[in-house]
């Protein structure tokens, strides 16, 4: 089985955006009626968007199951207030659940959290409990910067975040560290802010001692870990200068990387410096970079092509394509059995 641990619903049915527009319009004009509890979207509308989009690409590229979450840029935690985020997260997560119910052999949910700048993250706990216990989700996306590029929250190692971590450990689900859109003009969202977020999260983990307090907490850093693999020697050296243990002990029992790297040399570097046990296959499909690479003639986000060219052993390929995802997403096996996939 080939499990893609990082996919987003970037082809949402058309009624979702007008509903969101009405929700946001209500923030600036109190006379406008609030939208209903959820946009009216039919099963056929969901089927059409998935069958022409993500499912089509799954079949063309040879993957089997996508761990699926709402559009990352669309989370937009910097917009509105806590109530805005709560309502929006519920709508988006419910839509992911419907996808997973309509296509149970192809998609399984990961949640958007109702974060908001400066708001205590423990407010996310009810939604974490709901999506895991009621909807069968196997993880969450945690935004380290709900301000959208201005980094107003404490580092991820700060005890401010601990209530969320306690719940994740209790439920045995991992978090993918994933920023959302950028409202800082200095940072292009997918070209700078995403990579900044990944890299910053890793450095925060180096500086802290989070995993002494939470030895079973698991994070996935997406987009190949941002700049981390390219500067692996720098981060090993910084850990040494900060009197931290070797990264193999300090972080790599808890922190994992995906393969959302859009060229073969980058994938080769990732596989050389990061242990195979810490790499999960992912494509971000349908994601940040769309189009045909003129150097290869293939789509940039067809990352399986790059993994297949790494010359890895069958054992290592199995870890990247399936084994590591089932290890990191501990609840995944239960869902796979329920769906008759193992």
Give 69-98 as a DSSP string. Answer: EE-HHHH-TTSS-HHHHHHHHHHHHHHHHH
Token code pair at residue 132: 């895991």
Q: What proportion of the chain, given as a percentage, has pLDDT over 90?
A: 94
Which residue, among 236, 267, 232, has the nearest Cα to 250 in the 3D structure? Answer: 236
What is the pLDDT averaged over residues 169-173?
Answer: 98
Q: Are 115 and 121 in contact (CB under 8 A)?
A: yes
- pLDDT, one tens digit per residue, over 243-272 is 999 999 999 999 999 999 999 999 999 999
Return the pLDDT at 26: 87
CB atoms within 10 A of CB 18: 11
- pLDDT, one tens digit per residue, over 96-137 is 999 999 999 999 999 999 999 999 999 999 999 999 999 999
Return the pLDDT at 33: 64
* Identified catalytic residue from 284, 295, 299, 322: 284
pLDDT(30) > 70: no
Range of the domain at 116: 3-338
Count up the domains in the chain and report the number. 1
Which residue, among 51, 66, 87, 56, has the nearest Cα to 139 in the 3D structure? Answer: 66
Return the pLDDT at 287: 76
Geometric angle at alpha carbon 136, from 8 and 315, rounded to 5°: 70
303 pLDDT band, cuts 50/70/90, is very high
Q: Are 177 and 142 in contact (CB under 8 A)?
A: yes
Q: List the CATH number of the domain containing 330.
A: 3.20.20.140
Q: Are 100 and 109 in contact (CB under 8 A)?
A: yes
What is the pLDDT averaged over residues 90-97?
Answer: 98
Q: Is 284 a catalytic residue?
A: yes
Return the pLDDT at 172: 98
pLDDT(77) > 90: yes
What is the pLDDT averaged over residues 148-157?
Answer: 97
Report d(CA 329, CA 220) in Å as an integer: 10
Alpha-helical segments (H) within 278-323: 303-308, 314-318
Q: What proportion of the chain, given as a percentage, has pLDDT over 70?
A: 99
Alpha-helical segments (H) within the chain: 16-28, 43-52, 54-61, 72-75, 82-102, 125-133, 162-171, 194-207, 210-213, 232-241, 247-250, 264-273, 303-308, 314-318, 324-328, 332-338
Return the pLDDT at 34: 66
Q: Is the peptide bond before 286 cis (omega within 30 degrees of 0)?
A: yes
What is the pLDDT averaged over residues 306-324?
Answer: 98
């Amino acid at each position: 089985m080939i499990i893609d641990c990082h996919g987003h619903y970037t082809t949402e049915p058309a009624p979702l955006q007008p509903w969101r527009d009405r929700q946001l319009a209500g923030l600036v004009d109190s006379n406008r009626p609030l939208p209903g509890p959820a946009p009216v979207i039919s099963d056929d509308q969901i089927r059409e968007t998935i069958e022409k989009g993500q499912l089509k690409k799954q079949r063309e590229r040879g993957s089997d199951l996508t761990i699926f979450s709402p559009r990352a840029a669309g989370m937009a935690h910097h917009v509105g207030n806590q109530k805005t985020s709560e309502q929006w997260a519920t709508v988006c997560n419910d839509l992911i659940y419907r996808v997973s119910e309509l296509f149970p052999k192809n998609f399984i949910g990961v949640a958007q959290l109702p974060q908001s700048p400066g708001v205590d993250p423990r407010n996310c706990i009810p939604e974490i409990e709901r999506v895991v216990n009621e909807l069968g989700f196997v993880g969450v996306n945690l935004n380290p910067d709900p301000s959208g590029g201005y980094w107003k929250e404490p580092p991820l190692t700060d005890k401010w975040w601990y209530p969320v971590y306690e719940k994740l450990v209790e439920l045995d689900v991992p978090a993918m560290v994933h920023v959302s859109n950028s409202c800082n003009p200095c940072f292009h969202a997918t070209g700078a802010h995403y990579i900044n977020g990944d890299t910053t999260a890793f450095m925060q983990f180096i500086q802290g001692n989070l995993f002494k307090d939470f030895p079973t907490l698991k994070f996935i850093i997406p987009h190949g870990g941002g700049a981390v693999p390219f500067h692996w020697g720098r981060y090993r050296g910084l850990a040494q200068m900060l009197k931290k243990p070797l990264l193999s002990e300090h972080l790599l029992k808890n922190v994992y990387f995906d393969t959302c790297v859009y060229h073969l040399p980058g994938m080769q570097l990732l596989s050389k410096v990061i242990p195979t046990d810490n790499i999960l296959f992912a494509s971000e499909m349908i994601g940040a970079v769309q189009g045909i690479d003129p150097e290869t003639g293939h789509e940039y986000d067809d990352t399986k092509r790059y993994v297949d060219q790494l010359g890895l052993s069958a054992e290592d390929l199995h870890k990247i394509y399936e084994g590591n995802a089932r290890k990191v997403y501990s609840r995944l096996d239960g869902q796979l059995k329920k769906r008759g996939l193992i």
